[in-house]
């Protein structure tokens, strides 16, 4: 530990009361919202879709709150602080990806589905097999994403409260898990949406404050900021050019392309984002939410540039790495330095920004948990196990129990992932979503010939390829930064599987369709197509 | 179908039959809506993905070009990165405008006729 970190921990313990009270205020406020929302949650449409009564702007705010995760705030700022320009790709990919959602997915989905991504995937297919597949991939994608948020939570708290013991970190991960179970089981979609809206406002305000303070330090001269970042990083102008993280070898260059493709195609296949479009009454409102989300998320990512380069300019790289190997704590450290390492302001700013980051994590995990438990209850329990005969009450109770189960699983997994860069982990979730979900969404909506077996080939093929390649990649084993650094069973050279698994997902959809003798259900496609473009019969 | 039966409360309009949907799907009016939507959204999607991939490839394989300074410490890489933000905002705005002017009126006409119990 460098002296400044020890100091940070020292400051932190002095101001522990302040930090804990800020956390507690947020947690308390969100619990009040949750209980209030819970009282208004009467039927399945309230629980899954927040009663479909949110406006385009409200949902745009909630979508931003759902999307700007710990990966965006902690991960991207950290990646830019350590690798300069190469960290920037994340923000660009994460943003451009929204155009796929806007142009091809959000409105048709809102028009043709009710509660889950599976509603659209299975619309014109044989229900049970396709819903099983959609439910499986929803849960897998969400758990990858949850892993990243849990890792972020552990990292934050160890920085803040000076908890370095494994027991302490696991305790925090468990606390996050319990809170998310409470939010979702009691508040349902309504509670989750309000928590995400509050969080989006806090996060944007926090980022604005830090950005302003960073720019103030450099008299609003961006060129100076970049110059100091380059000098302080000891890497010179290379810090501002592509290649520091991904330019080393031809393999890392391929990894960069793989990451880039996964980012841009992943968003429109993320179940927790897709179900947000069911919370508004019409497709037009869904469009409006995406437009708002693009504006808010774009503005936020522009600010992460200032945060990342600001951290690089004001903090020694050793200090960032000493605090967290993957750079995840760069943004909170930046807050400490902007306020003054030895001053009360530094501690207060650190506590505030950390509370914002904590809020960010809670709101995102609630969204993820809701997506996976709704999919379990609506796709797998109600339509596969009960064959469409479950009552609303049974379905909602299944969703609540699933929430508890998913919470427990993510607590267990979260403990394993704490030293991985959270932006990198989220990129894996994007790769899985783009490989397993996006092809079937696109084919279902736009390709007349597509069949049940095409959907199954694509979902399972994309899912198995993406997850399999990750399992045998350096993310899991064989490198000091791996999840299991002491063993080596990796043979796939890239950290992100997208370059292979996304084309495989798309290709298998075509192969599966042509290999089976099954005829597509023309009547159901007529229904889906007319409905998705016009909103006829949309709930 | 069984799985998608709307709840008895709340929604009042009836869902048209499969025959009605098929008839509309084959109608010239719907064909026109589909054509205008697809001919706008599909090429634009290919276009912005190509533009984004160009940026990724330039970052990877044209390091010297990307490192060229434009003003002060601001280089081409940064300018192109910010250009991705700008084009994203512009495309979103363009799509919203086009959808409101060209797709929505057609879609609403079809929807209200189908739900009007015709």
Other Cβ atoms less than 10 A from the Cβ of B117: the count is 8
Residue ranges covered by each domain of chain B: 19-112
Rounded to two decimals, what is the model's pTM?
A: 0.92
Please state the three-class secondary structure of A361-428 as a single string.
HHHHHHHHHHHHHHHHHHHHHHHHHCCCCCCHHHHHHHHHHHHHHHHHHHHHHHCCCCCCCHHHHHHH
d(CA A67, CA A363): 10
A3-419: which CATH number, 1.20.1730.10, 2.60.120.620, 3.10.20.30, 3.40.50.261? 1.20.1730.10
d(CA A371, CA A365): 10
Query: Which parts of chain A have pLDDT scores under 70?
Result: 1-15, 160, 418-421, 423
Label residue B115 by pLDDT band (50, 70, 90).
confident
Residue A388: list chain B partners with CB under 8 A: 2-3
Q: Exposure of A249 by Cβ count < 10 A (0-12 exposed, 13-18 middle, 19+ buried)?
A: exposed
Task: Give the ipTM.
Answer: 0.91
Q: What's the confidence (pLDDT) of residue B24? A: 94
Residues in CB range of A400: below 8 A, 6 or more apart:
A184, A185, A373
Q: Find the CB nearest A88 among B2, B81, B95.
A: B81
Q: What's the confidence (pLDDT) of residue A2? A: 38
Instruction: Pick the closest to residue A305 from A183, A391, A424, A214 (CA basis).
Output: A214
Partner residues linked to B69 by β-bridges: B75
d(CA A138, CA B89): 29
Partner residues linked to A477 by β-bridges: A484
> Distance, in angstroms, between A103 CA and closest chain B CA?
6
d(CA A321, CA A407): 30
What does the pLDDT look like over A323-368, one tens digit per residue?
877 788 899 899 989 988 878 888 888 888 888 888 888 889 999 9
- Residue B4 contacts A, CB cutoff 8 Å: yes
Cβ under 8 Å to A: B residues 47-86: 48-49, 52-53, 55-57, 59-61, 63, 66-67, 71-75, 77-78, 81, 84-85
- Residue B107 contacts A, CB cutoff 8 Å: yes
What does the pLDDT look like over B67-91, one tens digit per residue?
999 989 999 999 999 999 999 999 9
Judge whether A59 and A285 are in contact, CB under 8 Å: yes
Residues in CB range of A172: below 8 A, 6 or more apart:
A153, A154, A157, A158, A163
Please answer yes or no on whether A99 and B92 come within 8 Å at the CB atom: yes
Beta strands in B36-111 (DSSP E): 69-71, 74-75
Task: Name which residue leads in pLDDT, B5 or A472.
Answer: A472
Q: What's the confidence (pLDDT) of residue A376? A: 93
Please answer yes or no on whether A298 and B93 come within 8 Å at the CB atom: no
Residue ranges covered by each domain of chain A: 3-419
> What's the distance, CA A150 to chain centroid?
11
Q: What's the Cα-to-Cα distance from A206 to each of A18, A352, A360, B84, rounded to whole Å?
A: 17, 8, 11, 24
Q: What's the confidence (pLDDT) of residue A6? A: 40
Please answer yes or no on whether B96 and A257 come within 8 Å at the CB atom: no
Q: What's the confidence (pLDDT) of residue A329? A: 86
Q: Exposure of B102 by Cβ count < 10 A (0-12 exposed, 13-18 middle, 19+ buried)?
A: middle
Residue B74: list chain A partners with CB under 8 A: 222-223, 226
Mean pLDDT of chain B: 88
- The first and second tokens of residue A425, run together, are 């982990």
């Amino acid at each position: 530990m460098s002296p400044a970190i020890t100091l940070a921990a020292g400051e932190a313990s002095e101001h522990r009361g302040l930090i804990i009270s800020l956390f507690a205020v947020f947690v308390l406020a969100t619990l009040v919202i949750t209980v209030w929302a819970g009282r208004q949650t009467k039927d399945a449409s309230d629980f899954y879709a927040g009663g479909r009564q949110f406006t385009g702007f409200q949902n745009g705010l909630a979508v931003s709150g759902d999307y700007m995760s710990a990966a965006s705030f902690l991960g991207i700022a950290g990646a830019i602080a350590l690798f300069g320009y190469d960290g920037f790709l994340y923000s660009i990919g994460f943003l451009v990806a929204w155009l796929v959602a806007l142009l091809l997915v959000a409105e048709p989905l809102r028009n043709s589905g009710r509660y889950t991504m599976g509603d659209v995937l299975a619309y014109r297919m044989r229900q049970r097999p396709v819903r099983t597949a959609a439910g499986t991939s929803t849960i897998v994608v969400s758990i990858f994403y949850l892993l990243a948020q849990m890792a972020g939570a552990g990292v934050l708290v160890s920085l803040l409260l000076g908890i370095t013991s494994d027991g302490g970190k696991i305790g925090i991960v468990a606390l996050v898990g319990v809170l998310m179970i409470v939010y979702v089981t009691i508040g349902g979609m309504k509670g989750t949406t309000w928590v995400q809206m509050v969080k989006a406002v806090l996060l944007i305000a926090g980022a604005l404050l830090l950005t302003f303070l960073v720019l103030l330090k450099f008299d609003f001269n961006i060129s100076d900021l970049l110059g100091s970042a380059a000098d302080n990083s000891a890497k010179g102008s290379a810090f501002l050019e592509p290649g520091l993280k991904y330019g080393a070898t031809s393999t890392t260059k391929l990894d960069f392309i793989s990451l880039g493709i996964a980012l841009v195609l992943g968003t429109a296949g993320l179940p927790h984002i897709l179900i947000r479009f069911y919370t508004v009454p019409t497709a037009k409102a869904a469009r409006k939410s995406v437009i708002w989300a693009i504006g808010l998320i774009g503005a936020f990512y522009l600010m992460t540039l200032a945060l990342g380069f600001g951290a690089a300019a004001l903090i020694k790289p050793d200090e960032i790495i000493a605090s967290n190997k993957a750079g995840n704590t760069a943004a909170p450290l930046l807050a400490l330095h902007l306020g003054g390492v030895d001053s009360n302001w530094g501690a207060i700013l650190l506590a505030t920004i950390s509370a914002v980051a904590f809020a960010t994590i809670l709101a995102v995990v609630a969204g993820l948990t809701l997506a996976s438990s709704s999919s379990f209850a609506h796709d797998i329990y109600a339509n596969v196990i009960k064959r469409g005969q479950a009552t609303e009450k049974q379905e909602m109770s299944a969703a609540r129990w699933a929430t508890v189960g998913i919470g427990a699983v993510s607590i267990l997994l979260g403990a394993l992932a704490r030293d991985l860069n959270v932006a990198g982990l989220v990129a894996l979730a994007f790769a899985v979503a783009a490989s397993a979900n996006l092809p079937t969404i696109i084919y279902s909506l736009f390709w007349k010939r597509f069949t049940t077996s095409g959907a199954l080939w694509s979902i399972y093929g994309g899912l198995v390829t993406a997850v399999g390649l990750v399992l045998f990649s350096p993310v899991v084993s064989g490198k000091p930064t791996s999840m299991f650094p002491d063993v080596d069973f990796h043979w796939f050279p890239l950290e992100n599987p997208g370059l292979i698994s996304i084309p495989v997902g798309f290709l298998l959809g075509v192969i599966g369709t042509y290999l089976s003798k099954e005829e597509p259900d023309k009547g159901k496609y007529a229904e889906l197509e007319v409905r998705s473009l016009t909103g006829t019969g949309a709930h | 179908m069984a799985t998608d039966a709307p709840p008895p409360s709340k929604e009042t309009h009836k869902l048209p039959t499969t025959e009605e949907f098929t008839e509309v799907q084959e109608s010239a009016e719907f064909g026109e809506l589909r054509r205008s939507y697809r001919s706008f959204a599909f090429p634009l999607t290919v276009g912005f993905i190509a533009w984004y991939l160009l940026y990724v490839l330039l970052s990877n394989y044209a390091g010297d070009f990307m490192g060229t300074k434009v003003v002060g410490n601001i280089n081409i890489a940064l300018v192109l990165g910010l250009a991705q933000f700008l084009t994203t905002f512009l495309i979103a705005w363009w799509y919203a405008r086009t959808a409101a002017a060209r797709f929505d009126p057609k879609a609403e006409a079809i929807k209200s006729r189908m739900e009007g119990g015709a």
